[in-house]
């Protein structure tokens, strides 16, 4: 109707304007203009408006958010930006007015899509800005929901890379105890390389991930908003009943309360099914595809799909990641392990048999060595304090921030004293305990200068060249003199004092 009126008005106001000019001006065919000019009244034909190219990959997400989630267009725009949308807000509003809003005020329609037990699961994430402690932090909440029972699993991370999505999905599979035949996702780049309908292409890593668990990927296609997202969408309920008005002391507390909220949601009567998701889940889990099992160990296999995440463990039981070094249990020294960053805050280390062997809080600094003392128990010696790794760590604790060549010094000690480097380094450590930091560092420099790293050389140089001998007191001396010392001011590891007490 609108095109017919426009064509008629253009011709009346500009009698000399030809059909070719009108067609070019309006972006339609010349035959359409000719047909419109011949008709004295509109016959019901209406030209379909072209969809904005920036919006096309997200049509299903927009329709699902507007129709099922009942989100405002302004909120949908923010969600789209987090998923990579580069278009304008006005384009989104035009699309919503043209294709989503109905003539009846406030009326939203949908076509229900029900699935059989074990047929389909749906996954999505949403970004929230939360108060964690005294800081405003972006948190990404993941939701995986079983289509039949509406049983859902929530998780969260502080970043939204492909590995984070895979981890959230894998953990939900573990929680379910299996997978459905299909997993429904949107058109985000972590899943799809090309979202166009003609040249559509799945991301190869996502395909490998799905193949590992035996689940078929499917996506929400344009004009099928009901294909992903039930009427009572988990994110809408999460935001209204958990996110809004809440603050959290830490990310760990947020995760803990999120899991409690998950249990609460799964144990309430669902408005659509009229049954608790936890009750329907008991029926649906019988139809789930079993997770891959290691037949030798009987344990569930973890997915490993990114070769860059493999690491070699040094002789000192350390691996490198993000400019820092992290310890692993000593039985894995000089072996291959693989790592995964969990939720953006933890570094998880797995053996080649997919067993979790170490977990560290990620360091925000660079050049740090993060040690778990438990990893060195029994390493190369009957007692920890006689091992090379233990002595090396003691030196790192004391000189790590003062002497940048310390790692080179340790490697040289090990290389030159191949028969028993632990005994030699333990002697050097014992000598250093009686001298000032500057004297010790000067001695290590001389070792490098003369390329000799024996404890005998260290002892001789210190005896002849040390300028300062610090007055050190044991805990017994401190107690004897009634001195009150704050634990944070003690420069030596408290384990050392415990050893002194034991000897005394």
pLDDT at 473: 37
Q: Which of 282-291, 293-302, 411-420, 473-482 has the highest mean pLDDT?
A: 282-291
339 and 282 in one domain?
A: no
Query: What are 496's two structure tokens?
Result: 């050392």
Residues 6+ apart with CB under 8 A from 479: none
Q: What is the rounded distance in angstroms from the CA atom of residue 180 to the CA atom of residue 116?
A: 10
For the ranges 88-97, 165-174, 290-299, 454-463, which has the lowest average pLDDT?
290-299
Residue 323 confidence (pLDDT) above 60? yes
Whether 144 shows a pLDDT value over 80: the answer reads yes
Whether residues 188 and 276 fall in one domain:
yes
What pLDDT is recorded for position 478? Answer: 33
Domain assignment present for residue 486? The answer is no
Give yes or no: residues 237 and 178 share one domain. Answer: yes
- pLDDT surpassing 90 at residue 282: yes
Q: What is the pLDDT of residue 49?
A: 57
Q: pLDDT tens-digit profile of 351-391?
A: 877 788 999 988 867 888 888 888 887 665 444 455 788 78
Residue 83 has phi, psi (to 5 degrees) of -100, 5
Strands 324-327, 369-370: pairing is parallel
Q: Is the pLDDT of residue 42 over 90?
A: no
Tell whether 429 and 323 lie within a shared domain: no
Judge if pTM exceeds 0.85.
no
Q: Quick one: DSSP state of residue 330?
A: G
Confidence category of residue 156, pLDDT binned at 50, 70, 90? very high
Token readout for 385 is 């304090």
291-302: per-residue pLDDT in tens?
988 776 677 777
**Does 436 lie in the same domain as 367?**
no
Q: Of 256, 287, 318, which one is at a domain's C-terminal end? A: 287
Q: Does 401 reside within a domain?
A: yes
- What confidence tier does 232 reach under pLDDT thresholds 50, 70, 90? very low
Assigned token pair, 59? 């049509």
* Distance from chain centroid for Cα 139: 10
Check whether residue 275 and residue 330 sit in a common domain.
no
Residue 274's pLDDT is 87
Reply yes or no on whether the pLDDT at 332 is more than 50: yes
d(CA 184, CA 188) in angstroms, rounded, equals: 12
Which residues, 6 or more positions from 172, have their beta carbon under 8 angstroms from its beta carbon? 123, 142, 144, 153, 155
Domain of 264?
A: 120-287
Is 269 part of a structural domain of the chain? yes
Work out the burial of residue 109: count CB atoms within 10 Å of its CB; fewer than 13 is exposed, 13-18 middle, 19 or more buried: exposed
* 126: Cβ contacts below 8 Å, ≥ 6 apart: 79, 140, 141, 143, 235, 238, 239
What are 417-465's pLDDT values in tens digits?
777 788 888 889 888 877 888 999 999 999 999 899 988 899 889 888 8
**What percent of the chain has a predicted confidence (pLDDT) above 90?**
23
Q: What is the DSSP string of 372-392?
A: -GGGGTTSSSSSGGGSHHHHH
Angstrom distances, CA of residue 199 to CA of 51, 131, 194, 377? 17, 42, 7, 56
- Residue 21: how many other CB atoms lie within 10 Å: 14
Note whether residue 300 is domain-resident: no
Q: Structural domain tally of the chain?
A: 4
Q: Is residue 45 part of a domain?
A: no
Is 154 a domain residue?
yes
35, pLDDT greater than 60: yes
Kindly state whether residues 146 and 255 are assigned to the same domain. yes
**Same-domain pairing of 368 and 319:** yes
SS3 content of the chain, % helix, strand, coil (to 5): 45, 15, 40
CB-based burial label for 12 (10 Å; 0-12, 13-18, 19+): exposed
CATH code, 334? 2.30.30
> Above 60 in pLDDT, residue 503?
no
Average pLDDT along the chain: 79
pLDDT of residue 468: 57
Q: What is the DSSP letter of 313?
A: P
Question: Looking at the domain assignment, is residue 298 inside a domain?
Answer: no
The number of beta carbons lying within 10 Å of the beta carbon of residue 448 is 13
- Report the candidate in 93, 80, 71 with the shortest Cα–Cα distance to residue 127: 80
Farthest CA pair distance, the chain: 113
Q: Where are the alpha helices (DSSP H) in 58-185?
A: 59-63, 73-82, 89-99, 162-176
> Which stretch, 103-117, 209-223, 483-497, has highest mean pLDDT?
209-223
Q: What is the mean pLDDT of residues 303-332?
A: 81
CA 81 to CA 62: how far, in whole Å? 12
Q: Which ranges constitute the DSSP H helices of 83-192?
A: 89-99, 162-176
For residues 279 and 157, membership in a common domain is answered with yes
In a domain? residue 131: yes
Cα(315)–Cα(421) distance, integer angstroms: 12
Q: Are residues 319 and 280 in the same domain?
A: no
d(CA 233, CA 421): 62
- Residue 227's domain is classified under what CATH number? 3.30.420.10
Comparing C-alpha atoms, which of 49, 257, 73 is closest to residue 156? 257
Question: At CB < 8 A and 24+ separation, what contacts does 164-169 make?
Answer: 164/140, 164/341, 164/343, 164/344, 165/125, 165/190, 166/209, 166/303, 166/305, 167/340, 167/342, 167/343, 168/123, 168/125, 168/142, 168/144, 169/123, 169/142, 169/144, 169/209
pLDDT at position 267, please? 94
204 and 129: one domain? yes
Residues 136 and 278 occupy one common structural domain = yes
């Amino acid at each position: 109707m609108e095109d017919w009126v426009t064509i008629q008005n253009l011709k009346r106001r500009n009698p000399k304007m030809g059909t070719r000019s009108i067609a070019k001006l309006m972006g339609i065919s010349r035959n359409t203009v000719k047909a419109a000019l011949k008709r004295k009244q509109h016959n019901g034909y209406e030209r379909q408006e072209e969809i904005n190219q920036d919006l096309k990959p997200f049509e299903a997400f927009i329709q699902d958010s507007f129709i099922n989630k009942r989100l405002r267009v302004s909120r949908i725009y923010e969600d789209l930006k987090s998923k990579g949308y580069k278009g304008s807000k006005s384009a989104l509003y035009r699309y919503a007015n043209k294709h989503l809003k109905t003539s009846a005020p406030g009326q939203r329609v949908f076509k229900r899509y029900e699935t059989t037990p074990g047929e389909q699961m749906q996954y999505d994430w949403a970004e929230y800005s939360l108060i964690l402690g005294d800081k405003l932090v972006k948190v990404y909440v993941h939701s995986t929901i079983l289509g039949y029972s509406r049983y859902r699993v929530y998780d969260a991370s502080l970043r939204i890379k492909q590995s984070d999505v895979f981890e959230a999905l894998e953990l939900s599979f573990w929680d379910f105890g299996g997978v459905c035949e299909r997993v429904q996702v949107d058109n985000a780049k972590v899943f799809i390389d090309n979202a166009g309908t003609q040249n559509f292409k799945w991301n190869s890593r996502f395909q490998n991930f799905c193949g590992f668990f035996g689940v078929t990927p499917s996506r929400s296609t344009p004009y099928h908003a009901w294909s992903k997202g039930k009427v009572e969408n988990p994110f809408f309920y999460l935001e209204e009943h958990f996110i809004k008005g809440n603050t959290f002391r830490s990310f760990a507390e947020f995760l803990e309360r999120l899991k409690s909220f998950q249990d609460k949601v799964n144990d309430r009567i669902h408005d659509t099914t009229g049954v608790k998701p936890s009750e329907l889940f008991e029926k649906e889990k019988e139809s789930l595809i079993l997770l891959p099992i290691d037949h030798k160990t009987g344990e569930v296999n973890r997915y490993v799909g990114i070769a860059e995440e493999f690491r070699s463990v040094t002789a000192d039981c350390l691996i490198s990641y993000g400019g820092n070094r992290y310890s692993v249990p000593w039985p894995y020294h000089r072996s291959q392990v693989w790592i995964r960053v969990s939720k953006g805050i933890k570094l998880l280390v797995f053996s080649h048999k997919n067993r979790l062997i170490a977990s560290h809080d990620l360091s925000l600094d660079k050049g740090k060595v993060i040690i778990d003392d438990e990893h060195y128990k029994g390493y190369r010696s009957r007692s920890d304090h006689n091992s090379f790794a233990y002595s090396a760590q003691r030196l790192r604790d004391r000189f790590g921030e003062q002497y940048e060549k310390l790692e080179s010094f340790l490697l040289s000690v090990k290389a030159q004293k191949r028969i028993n480097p632990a005994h030699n380094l333990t002697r050097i450590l014992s000598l250093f305990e009686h001298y000032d930091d500057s004297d010790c560092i000067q001695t290590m420099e001389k070792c490098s200068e003369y390329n000799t790293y024996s404890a005998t050389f260290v002892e001789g140089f210190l005896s002849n060249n040390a300028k300062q001998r610090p007055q050190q007191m044991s805990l017994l001396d401190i107690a004897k003199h009634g001195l009150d010392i704050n634990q944070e001011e003690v420069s030596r590891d408290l384990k050392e004092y415990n050893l002194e007490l034991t000897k005394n």
